[in-house]
């Protein structure tokens, strides 16, 4: 039972709870439907992906880094929660930001920081700047100690986080849309060394201030939503449909309106 739960990325405690029971009740036709949806999503992508790239599967909350066609790194990430979903986009990572500041979006200012005391703002190194709440750099910053800038108009990026314990959760759709990377400093160091900018990156980090280090070669990044895929062990792997996005695709393919298994977070977290 624990192996079964692990395969579906739910808590592998051996107990048949609500989540496990819902998966056990999945019919063979449901699997066929999920596979058809996954194959349709593959058709939306370029036939040959870049040999060097970063793929983030938001359904599995997992990052895979390929270099020259080989998988060289894989790690847990935290992605957008239902209602604040991480979008499906193809973009590129073009620089590292050391000791980033965080300009809090207006929606978070209104919805989650309204009414917070002055002591809360001091404790979290936050101040008002031209009508915006800005959190200064440091280990308590919601972006952590490194940000990975992506080319896009949606203000989506990868970053570090002080909330390390969330990476241990099985369901990691918990953020406001951006992608938090496990051991982000280690990942940044690896990329900096491969790009030949390790010395620049070390100086930027040591400055204690916000600093930008551009990549000589941008790295393609794909933010994907894959609830069925083939693992590195060549096994068909199923995940839940945390955003409920499979429903519309399945209907367009002529399947019924049965909703997939979704996830609702009970974690209160104000980070991006």
Per the residue annotation, which of 6, 31, 159, 170 is the catalytic one?
159
Paired tokens of 268: 């209160």
Is residue 6 annotated as part of the catalytic site, yes or no? no
Paired tokens of 157: 């990026």
Paired tokens of 58: 């938001």
Is residue 176 annotated as part of the catalytic site, yes or no? no
Q: What sign results for the dihedral spanned by CA atoms 260, 253, 178, 9?
A: positive
Separation CA 222–CA 265 (nearest Å): 24
Q: Using the CB atoms, write b or e for 40-79: b if 16+ within 10 Å.
A: ebeeeeeeeebebbbbbbbbbbbbbbbeeeeeeeeebbbb
Q: What positions carry a catalytic annotation?
A: 159, 178
């Amino acid at each position: 039972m624990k192996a079964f739960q692990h395969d579906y990325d739910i808590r592998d405690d051996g107990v048949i709870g609500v989540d496990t029971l819902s998966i056990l009740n999945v019919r063979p036709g449901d699997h066929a439907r999920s596979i058809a949806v996954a194959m349709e999503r593959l058709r939306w992508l370029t036939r040959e992906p870049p040999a060097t790239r970063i793929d983030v599967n938001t359904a599995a909350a997992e990052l895979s880094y390929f270099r020259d066609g080989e998988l060289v790194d894989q790690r847990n990430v935290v992605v957008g929660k239902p209602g604040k979903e991480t979008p499906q986009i193809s973009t590129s990572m073009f620089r590292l930001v050391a000791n980033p500041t965080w300009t809090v979006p207006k929606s978070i200012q209104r919805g989650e920081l309204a009414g917070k005391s002055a002591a809360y703002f001091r404790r979290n190194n936050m101040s008002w700047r031209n009508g915006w709440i800005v959190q200064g750099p440091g280990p308590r910053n919601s972006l952590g100690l490194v940000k990975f800038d992506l080319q896009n108009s949606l203000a989506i990026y990868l970053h570090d986080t002080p909330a390390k314990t969330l990476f241990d959760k099985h369901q990691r759709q918990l953020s406001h849309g951006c992608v938090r990377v496990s051991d982000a400093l280690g990942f940044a160091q690896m990329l900096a060394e491969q790009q030949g900018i390790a010395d620049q990156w070390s100086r930027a980090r040591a400055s204690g201030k916000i600093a930008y280090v551009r990549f000589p070669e941008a790295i393609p990044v794909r933010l994907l939503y894959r609830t069925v895929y083939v693992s590195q062990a060549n096994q068909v792997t199923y995940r839940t449909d945390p955003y409920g996005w499979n429903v519309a695709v399945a209907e367009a393919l002529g399947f019924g309106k049965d909703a997939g298994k979704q996830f609702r977070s009970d974690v209160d977290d104000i980070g991006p």
